[in-house]
Structure formats: C-alpha cells, structure tokens
Structure 1
C-alpha cells in the first residue's frame, strides 16, 4: 500500500494511506508516483480496449457474490490502475454494479493480481463495495504454483467425487462462462469479446478439492473440467473441439481466491500422444540397436513413407 503526504487538523505533516483504487488529487501524474498507470473509461466499453480487463472486473464481483451470498450484476467499468511493470501486474478496478434486491447502482472496487503472464494464474484478494467500511485483511495470500491435475478418464468421471452439470445448470450458472472467457483472455490478450463469444460450452464437470465435502456449485475450492466448441473453426470445417481445466482455490486466512487453468484442442492432444508414442518407440530401438542403428531405421521408415505418399498422389 502506497502513501501520500498531507496535513492533519493541527497543521502537522501527516501520511495518508492510498489503497490503489481512488487516486490522490495531486496532479494528473499522481498515479505514476505510486507505481501505477491510470486508465479512464466512458460509460460503454470501447472495442479497442482489452477484453480481459472487463473479465477481471466481472471476476471481482463473482468473488464477492461467492463469499457473501449475494447476486450483484456487472454494469460497466469506470476506471482502473495498473502496475507499471511489464510482466504480471496488479489491477485496481473501479466499476459499477447493479444490486437487484435494492434496485440501485453500486460503486465497487476489486483487486486482481497476476501471478504469471501468458497463462491463467491470478489471485483476487479484494472485492468490496466502495462505501463498505470493512477493510481487507492485512495477511497476504500464500501463493503456490502447483501443477494442474490431468484430464480424468471416462471411468473417473463416473465416480462420486465428480459432479456433471445438467443442461439447466450449464446455461444458468454465470461463472461457468466467465471462467472459460478468463482462461482464453489471460492467455491471449488480444482476444475481443466477439471472439470469446465463438466458444460454445457443451459439457462441464466439477470436483471439490476437499475430500470431506461432496462436489457442488457452492464449493469454494474446486476444479472445473470443460468440453466446448470453437464455432469460428467449425464454420471453416476445421477441428473445433477443445478442453479446459480451471482450478479455484479459496484461502480462509486472506479471503483470497486463486485461479489457475489451461486449455487445448483435441487435435493438439492427439499430436502430443503421437509424439509420446514415437519417443517411446525410439527409446526401445536405442536399447536394441544402439543410437546409430535406431537413427538409420528411423530414416528408412520416413523414406518409405515418402515413397508411398508420392506414389499415391500419382
């Protein structure tokens, strides 16, 4: 947390805390003094702006709804302050949300911290109404970069520790779509909202990270498995089916949510399996024939394949 110099009631110098959201009014370059770059937005989101910042704002509201049991809806982003470092950075977001119970617009603050860039690996330690008197907990989240789980087999999906969403839950659970947009927009910063809308979710299963609790949509720490379709590639007649894994971890001490995830296509998965098989075969050949013998045999096989492919084309 940065600080700003000012004067108290007695005229003596006083240090005022600046939490990164509301900028101190000491000139247009005040944000840079605190290691932040300020971005101001109009009422409506502009197409040239990065879609992932809007997704970050929606994620902040999602954290608040999950922990407080509310149903506040995102309206629009007002402004945000971003860390000046080139890589992973914190985003202090100021936004407006709709409160259905009271029917009024609520100013809101959310902090999204990137742990790594180029992939889904972020934490959401703060999400609160601007008028809230409750201060965020001072303890920092203990970040751990553990590997994501593998994609389960069909037999594993049939087990009780997995829960498959039905059609109604799939279409009416807002955070399912949000998580898929988050996985893509964090990996590909240039993606637009129209490109994100080309992904059609077909199947979703969840698994609770706590063995004591059965998996449910209300679980705070869970793993989400998605099968979805890239409609843009489908229109071109290309392979279009994809998979995604998103892990959500809640830390009680800091009230922080951490998200990690990855996505890939079925064709990429087949190619990896093929390369893995080729490596195993070559390793066996090395044991039997030695390095030189294995390379010679491999070259002969590729030559024969080339001759066969050329003869078929004729």
Structure 2
C-alpha cells in the first residue's frame, strides 16, 4: 500500500506542500536565528542561510568586488556609533575604515557594523561592534539610535532586534529661535572649536543624507558651517551637553529640495541629541527644510538614473563577473540592452 503523506495548506502556494518539507524548513529557520542570536548579529560568516530566509544581509566592505547600498550613509552611521562610544568611554578613537556590516531587510533598517578605529595616541587599530537602528521618519528626516557600541571582544547581550519605539526620545523638534542672544539658554560654538568637535559636522551630514540618500561625498565636502548654537535640554547650555538641541546654519549645498538653489544659500538644520540611560542608547532626531517648518516651494531633486548617465558618457559600467542579472524588471532589461553589463549573458 502506498504511504500517505501528510500535507498542509499554504497561503502563498496553490499546491499542497509535504509536511516533512515544512518541518525541515522550520528547523532550518530556528537553527539560523539561534546562531544569529549567539553572534549578537555581527559575525555571520560561518552561518548557513536556509533558502527562503529573510534574515540579515551581510556585506564585506574590505572586498573590492563587493558593492553595498547607500555607502555614504552607512559610513556616517558607523561614525555615529563611534561617536557614541567615545562619549561613553571618554576616548578619542578616529574612524579608519569599515570592515563589514549586516543589515535587516526592512524599510526601517537595523545595521550591525564592524569597523576599524585608530587611537591617535598609539596609532594602533582597534575593532568595534556598533548597532545602529533607523526609526520612523514621519516627522523628522533623521531618526537614528545607536544601541550597541563596544570593542569587538567585549561580550554583549544575545541578538535581539531593538524596538525603536521604546528607544527614541519622544520630544518634538523645537522651532528655530528668533535669535541666540540668551547666553543662559544657548552656547554659541566658536569657529576654533569646530575642528575639535567634528561630531557637529557629522550631525549636519546625517541630517542631509537621511533626507537625500543620493548625496555623495563630493556634495558633502562642499558644505561650510556658518553658525552653531547648542541648547541644553536639561539646562546645561555647554558644548558637551549630553542632551541638547543643536542648531546649525550652513551653505554649500547646490541642489536642495527646499529654498533657493545655489551653494551661496544659507540653510538650517536642527538635530536633537538624547540619551536613553535605562537602555544605554543614544538617539539623534533631526530636521531640514520642511521637517523644521521652513515654508517654501518643494522641488524634485532626484538625479538622472545610471542609464541616462551612461548615454551621456558619464557612467563607467561594472566590468566584474556576473552570476545573475544586475537589476530586475524593466530597468534591468533596459540596462542590458544598452550594453551597460556586457559581461552578463543570458542562457
């Protein structure tokens, strides 16, 4: 007599799947996430990923043939995590290079970053593990929390995706003040202090990059800080106030979605820094343009896609090995037709 196979209905599949296959799939998922939890979300090289898993996407930043999304933004996320480590430990480690990172494949992503930092006193490199989570950006273009900042060999809690609703500071961004003359409320940063406090420029770049992910290093290098004022949230109006509103006036951004066009235009950014002491987290919430109430005509600042750039002779197509189509859908087929990926051949 033929053995009867137990099946179960699937919402995603019109056919019936053998129970043995489903049981094997569940066991694979459980084993994958068990290993991820033990690693803290960082070292996943030896962890096999079962088919159909929506887990963490790993990127090795030290390999020249690996490209990863939003490289400008990810580097600044890493610098933000290093900034939090320096504040909490009283160190002055400097960013050296990204080693790798793992990221959740959701809209509000969480990054588990491994980077190399340099100690200026000894010129030696140390490796840090950093956890940075994106929060809801309904009201603010910048909503970022660093929930892990530690040396690589330091034990950490088992991996768990953070609840960003619990981590973020729920206070709203303030309105831009009419002036900064109240010295009891504001600390006006001197020009000579900007170089020794590079976190101010980092906050500015984060506020802009999270608002426009197509910005490149060349765009950010043109920025000039005009004025900075620090407002201590807890009445501590000093440069190093742990919880503070940071008001930044700058110029050098040629293309902006709000306000006039041109590098000469002085623009405004507000960044709110806060610490969640019970959770040991540092949060940045910030705004630019409409996020801080600037009323002006909004425009589309999207850059031309890479097909247009290729036709104009301003794009060098990738020449590395291809194991699959470079892009899906209509845009991918169009790219192949235009000859951008000549090394890719379809069977």
TM-score above 0.5: yes
2:204 is the counterpart of 1:204:
no
**Quick check: 2:145–2:167 contact (8 Å CA) kept in 1?**
no
Deviation at 1:35, TM superposition (A): 1.6
For residues 1-29 of structure 1, give each alpha carbon's deviation from its aligned partner in whole angstroms, at most 9, with x where no partner exists: xx9749xxxxxx999723111115133x3
Select which of 81, 86, 91 maps to 1:65.
86
Query: Per residue, is there more helix in 1 or in 2?
Result: 1
**1:70-101 alpha-carbon deviations (Å, 9 max, x no partner):** 0001001011111111x111011111111223
Structure 2 unmatched runs, 5+: 1-28, 298-347
Provide the C-alpha distance between the structure 2 equivalents of 1:51 and 1:76, rounded to a whole number of angstroms.
12
| Richer in strand (by share) | 1
Return the match for 2:132 from 112, 115, 122. 112
Secondary structure at 2:193 match in 1: helix
1:254 is the counterpart of 2:279: yes
TM-superposition CA deviations, 1:175-201 (whole Å, max 9, x none): 011000110111111111111112110
Residue 179 in structure 1 maps to residue 203 in structure 2? yes
1:225 Cα offset (Å): 0.3
Judged with a 3 Å threshold, the aligned counterparts in structure 2 of structure 1 residues 215 and 46 are, in CA distance, closer, same or farther, namely farther
Aligned length: 256
Structure 2 SS opposite 1:112: strand
2:97 maps to 1:83: no
Q: Residue 192 of structure 2 corresponds to which residue in structure 1? A: 168
What TM-score do the two structures reach when normalised by structure 1?
A: 0.71
Relative to structure 1, the CA distance from residue 109 to residue 258 in structure 2 (aligned partners, 3 Å threshold; closer, same or farther) is: same
Residue number among 152, 173, 178 corresponding to 1:130 in the alignment: 152
Contact 2:251 2:266 in 1 (8 A): yes
- Answer whether contact 1:245 1:261 (CA < 8 A) is retained: yes
Q: SS of 1:223's equivalent?
A: strand
The secondary structure found in structure 2 opposite 1:25 is: coil
Distance between the aligned counterparts of 2:96 and 2:30, measured in 1?
Answer: 31
SS at match of 1:172: coil
- Aligned partner of residue 232 in structure 1, secondary structure: coil
The residue that corresponds to 1:308 in the other structure is none
Aligned to 2:288: 263
**Unaligned residue ranges in structure 1 (runs of 5+):** 7-12, 273-314
Q: Residue 146 of structure 1 aligns to a residue in which SS?
A: coil
Contact persistence 1:77–1:95 (CA under 8 A):
yes
RMSD between aligned residues: 3.4
CA distance in 1 between counterparts of 2:125 and 2:287 reads 35
**Whole-angstrom CA distance in 1 between matches of 2:79 and 2:250:** 21
C-alpha change, 1:136 and 1:205, in structure 2 (3 Å) is farther
CA deviations over 1:94-118 (Å, ceiling 9, x no partner): 1111122333111111011001258
